[in-house]
Amino acid sequence: MNPNPFLGVCFHWLGGLASGSFYVPYRGVKKWSWETYWLVGGFFSWIVCPWLLAFLLTNNLPGVLMQQSAETLWWTYFFGALWGFGGLTFGLTMRYLGMSLGMGVALGYCAAFGTLLPPIFKSFVPSIPVAQSIGQIASSRAGEVTLAGVAICIFGIAIAALAGYTKEREMPEKEKKKAIAEFNFRKGVLVATFSGIMSACFAFALTAGNPIGDASLAAGTDKIWTGLPKLVVVLLGGFTTNFVWCAILNIRNGSGYQYLARIARPEHAALRAAGGEHSGESLAAATADLRIPMRSNYLFSALAGTTWYFQFFFYTMGETQMGKFAFSSWTLHMASIIIFSTMWGWFLHEWKGSSRKAHSLIAAGIFTLILSTLVVGYGNYLGVGK
């Protein structure tokens, strides 16, 4: 099957839609702490969905994994575990900055590091499993266009971050708290910076897992699905990090009982999702009904986790269509996430009360990001068959 970069762009857009939307179901979770619903949703994201879909859509999954070298499995798992730290703090980013600004800042770092570092490292360590070094990419017309698209994307992310900063300075404190109960720009940016840099390790994990995809292709799997087996290993690393931290928080905060209890303790009664913060009810009103809606909490968390997984389900499909400039897939993915998360931010009134300048900036940022995906797709199209 010949690569089809524009089909790849569409797949990356679907992945961005999934990632930009996954946090919405968590808003329906009540009387659970952040660490509880994050781990429940994560179990579907990192364990259930990767194994289930890889079993259904690829050939001989156990055999493909067993034939891998210990080095391949270790580095794929290790970078996945490092990415897990980014995933953990990503949830806190949403808590302090909201969906639109939080994703814009965190994913800006993630796009820059995850896209450019692998081919840059290839220049110094030729043996790493990356198709081309940054110099080789820049030596062709197609590569130049693709790199230009990456630069446009990073510029668009910067505009989106500036829009968020403008909104933060202009919005009345009451409006900020109404949309995002624990809004804190300074704390949120620090968390987002760490999250974005660590989340870029996912791109390294996928690169380290390339031999797994090659083995799956050799086993007769259709090329479009060959990225699914390596997700099993990458996400197992992410699960490890998140499980350990959430378990620690469950113990420290006394929230471990929530997985099975139908009645909340009074100190947890006013919790709602969007970061586990208090809903703003008075304590008396919150404790009037201590029942935990177990069925809906598990349902919303499972829906959020499954939606999250589909970002990388479509990502791996898109990556197979990008030809020798597959490194640009990470940029496309980040841009798509910001586009759709910002749209959710508008829908959820996170920009209510901000000025025309802030609205104009975010609109310009979204337009620039959409333009970048088209430029990257065109650059990959020029490179097909060359």
pLDDT tens digits for range 333-369: 777 777 777 777 777 676 777 788 888 888 888 888 7
What is the pTM for the complete model shown?
0.73
Mean pLDDT of 216-230: 92
The per-residue pLDDT of the chain, averaged, comes to: 80
Those residues whose C-beta lies under 8 Å from the C-beta of residue 43, and which sit 6 or more positions away, are 239, 305
The pLDDT value recorded for residue 77 is 95
**Domains of the chain, residue spans:** 5-383
Query: Which two structure tokens, joined as six digits, stand for 189?
Result: 């940016």
Those residues whose C-beta lies under 8 Å from the C-beta of residue 9, and which sit 6 or more positions away, are 318, 332, 373, 374, 376, 377
Cα–Cα distance between 52 and 374 in angstroms, integer? 33
Query: Which two structure tokens, joined as six digits, stand for 282?
Result: 């008075």
Which has the closest alpha carbon to 103: 361, 363, 345, 357? 345
pLDDT in tens, 231-265: 999 999 999 999 999 999 999 989 899 999 888 88
The pLDDT value recorded for residue 223 is 86
Burial class (CB in 10 A: 0-12, 13-18, 19+), 131: middle
Cα–Cα distance between 347 and 293 in angstroms, integer? 26
Read off φ and ψ for residue 272, nearest 5 degrees: -135, 175
The separation between CA 193 and the C-alpha centre of its own chain, rounded to angstroms, equals 14
For the chain, helix, strand, coil in percent to 5 are 80, 0, 20
The pLDDT value recorded for residue 261 is 85
- Confidence class of residue 174 from pLDDT cuts 50, 70 and 90? low
pLDDT in tens, 56-115: 999 999 999 999 999 999 989 998 999 888 877 876 776 677 665 666 667 666 766 666
